[in-house]
A = this chain, B = another copy of it.
Amino acid sequence: MWKTCSKFIYPSNFRAFKLTIFASIMSSQELQLKVKNIFSAYLEQNGHRKTPERFAILAEIYDHQGHFDVESLYLKMKNHNYRVSRATLYNTIELLMACNLVRKHQFGKNQAHFEKSHGFKQHDHLICTDTGEVIEFCDPRIQQIKATMEELFGVQIHHHSLYFYGVKKNNEL
């Protein structure tokens, strides 16, 4: 289910730990089917209609790699000869966020970015401010910080977002 790329890290000020970068290795077809069923069940349970537009948008999103914004999704569907209005895109993305199939990001701009989120572990982002390149990573220590905050402030944290912004030092990246 997961392709992992792991590396033992020995920071000077912290005990060694394994950093793992995750990627899904479910087949695209498997994933498409799975999320379709999840969405279908969600719509049913919440009394929403199962329109062809909604499933077409879901399929298009899960066909896409990486982040996207509404405009590019709109154009992509248009190019694939599937006509949907922007209004329906926003509406459907809203539903997809409600059932955790899509996640929203605001990378400091006014345009929202989205990414598919099922079958992909919660991860965070390192953004290169020179090139706009985005690296995804998953550091287990963030869960520890989260646990501490929950204990300390008596809250239940349902999600988080962590972004690092930086520049490449050489051409190592």
Chain A residues near B (Cβ < 8 Å): 7, 9, 11-14, 19, 104, 106, 108-110, 112, 126, 128-129, 135, 137, 139, 141-142, 144-170, 172-173
Contacting pair A152 B14 (CB below 8 A) = no
Contacting pair A165 B158 (CB below 8 A) = yes
Contacting pair B126 A7 (CB below 8 A) = no
Contacting pair A169 B154 (CB below 8 A) = yes
With contacts A141-B145, A148-B11 taken as known, whether A172 is within 8 angstroms of B159 at the C-beta atoms is no
With contacts A104-B108, A161-B161 taken as known, whether A168 is within 8 angstroms of B155 at the C-beta atoms is yes
Contacting pair A156 B137 (CB below 8 A) = no
Contacting pair A170 B157 (CB below 8 A) = no
Q: Which chain B positions have C-beta within 8 A of A146? A: 164
Contacting pair A135 B153 (CB below 8 A) = yes
With contacts A156-B169, A158-B166 taken as known, whether A110 is within 8 angstroms of B110 at the C-beta atoms is yes
Extra pairs beyond A7-B152, A104-B108, A137-B149 (11, CB < 8 Å): A9-B152, A11-B148, A13-B147, A14-B148, A128-B155, A141-B144, A150-B166, A154-B169, A157-B165, A160-B163, A162-B163
